[in-house]
Amino acid sequence: MAETTAGELASALKLKLRGDPKTTIVGAATLDEATDRQISFVASPKYFEAAENSRAGCLIAPPAFGAEGRAVMESEAPRAHFAQALAILYPAQPVCAGIHPGAIVEPGAHIDESAEIGAGAVIRGGAWIGPRTRIGEGSFIGRDTRIGEDCILHPRVTVYERVAVGARAIVHSGAVIGADGFGFEMVNGMYRKVPQVGTVEIGDDVEIGANTCIDRATLGVTTIGRGTKLDNQVHIAHNCRIGAHVVIAAQTGLAGGVTIGDYAVVGGQVGVGDKARIESRAIIGSGAGILTSKIVRAGEPVWGTPARPLKQYLAQLAVLSRLARKRRGAE
């Protein structure tokens, strides 16, 4: 954790500072937990009172916040600037170039001299590991897989053969990229496996949560677009095509062939059926169910199972509530 001053941090964030620029900052915390040597943020005017009562030595707040007696950085986007401040106060562990003696690297693998390979990692032949990339302890990188520059693969990540991962990707522990898609055909009364011979392509600046699984395509490519963020325990089935800057929350599952457009937002515990299409900037509420081949249009958020526009969903809930009250009255 880095120690700095309010003046230095405001300069780094390019924010106007009110109050003492020499205020020491040694960390960050929430408004109710921050001390006089920590920074916090005020997301909106509804938190002004809480901010005034906070002990935080420095705040990132909207310009309208007028508390005196402490350092305040004026921001139109306090949460975003607070995130930048966290990156400065808690810098990432630097990559330690080199291959741990306990790692296994097969002949034919290319590992950039600036990359870090942790203990117990296995790198198969034909794999390509880019500059300044860290492969965590116990991770597996399959044959002919390409991992771009400045990536972080945390311990125990599994990347199957022939997968491509773009630059600056972050993959958390337990994630599996390139496992077989769920493909079977009934032959003579029993299921026969359909060979999954496609691959997976992950774009630049993607983050993949812990224990998330992205299946390879049956044929062709399963794609995750640039800047997309997948939470923990997300399942992306074979031949899905996820656009750029999509956000998918935890425990969501996509069946095969689903398409999601750029900037869509998918809540937690959502189930999406085969070949459904979610348009760019669409919003799906937590727990929703998207039926097979359904098209979700951008605009009003959808909710419920089967998913429908939020206003319609709420109206139906209100009707059910009135019916329940009438039934109780009749009894």
263-287 per-position pLDDT tens digit: 999 999 999 999 999 999 999 999 9
The confidence score (pLDDT) of residue 329 equals 67
Give the right CATH number for 98-310 from 2.40.50.140, 3.30.365.10, 1.10.10.10, 2.160.10.10.
Answer: 2.160.10.10
Phi, psi of 163, deg, nearest 5:
-90, 150
CA 118, 203, 164, 265 torsion-angle sign: positive
Domain with CATH 3.40.1390.10 in the chain: 4-89
The confidence score (pLDDT) of residue 331 equals 61
Asked if 81 is an active-site residue, the reply is no
pTM of the model: 0.89
Query: Partners of 199 in the beta sheet?
Result: 221
Task: Provide the residue type at 270 as one letter.
Answer: V
CA distance 256 to 170: 24
Does residue 149 contact residue 113 with C-beta atoms inside 8 Å?
no
Residue 224's contacts (CB-CB under 8 Å, 6 or more residues apart) are: 200, 201, 202, 203, 206, 208, 214, 230, 236, 242
The confidence score (pLDDT) of residue 289 equals 95
**What number does CATH give the domain 4-89?**
3.40.1390.10
Q: What is the 3-state secondary structure (H, E, C) of the chain?
A: CCCEEHHHHHHHHCCEEECCCCCEECEECCCCCCCCCEEEECCCHHHHHHHHHCCCCEEEECCCCCCCCCEEEECCCHHHHHHHHHHHHCCCCCCCCEECCCCEECCCCEECCCCEECCCCEECCCCEECCCCEECCCCEECCCCEECCCCEECCCCEECCCCEECCCCEECCCCEEEECCCCEEEECCEEEECCCCCEEEECCCCEECCCCEEECCCCCEEEECCCCEECCCCEECCCCEECCCCEECCCCEECCCCEECCCCEECCCCEECCCCEECCCCEECCCCEECCCCEECCCCCEECCCCEEHHHHHHHHHHHHHHHHHHHHHC
The confidence score (pLDDT) of residue 169 equals 98
CA 139, 230, 280, 76 torsion-angle sign: negative
For residue 150, CA distances in Å to 60, 224, 305 come to 30, 18, 41
DSSP strand pairing (4-5 vs 24-25)? antiparallel
Q: Which residues of the chain have pLDDT under 50?
A: none
CA distance 292 to 256: 10
Domain with CATH 2.160.10.10 in the chain: 98-310
The confidence score (pLDDT) of residue 317 equals 76
Token digits of residue 96: 């330690």
Does residue 231 contact residue 250 with C-beta atoms inside 8 Å?
yes
Given the residues 81, 154, 235, 238, the one annotated as active site: 238
Token digits of residue 146: 């390409």
Interior angle at CA 88, CA 87 and CA 92, nearest 5: 55
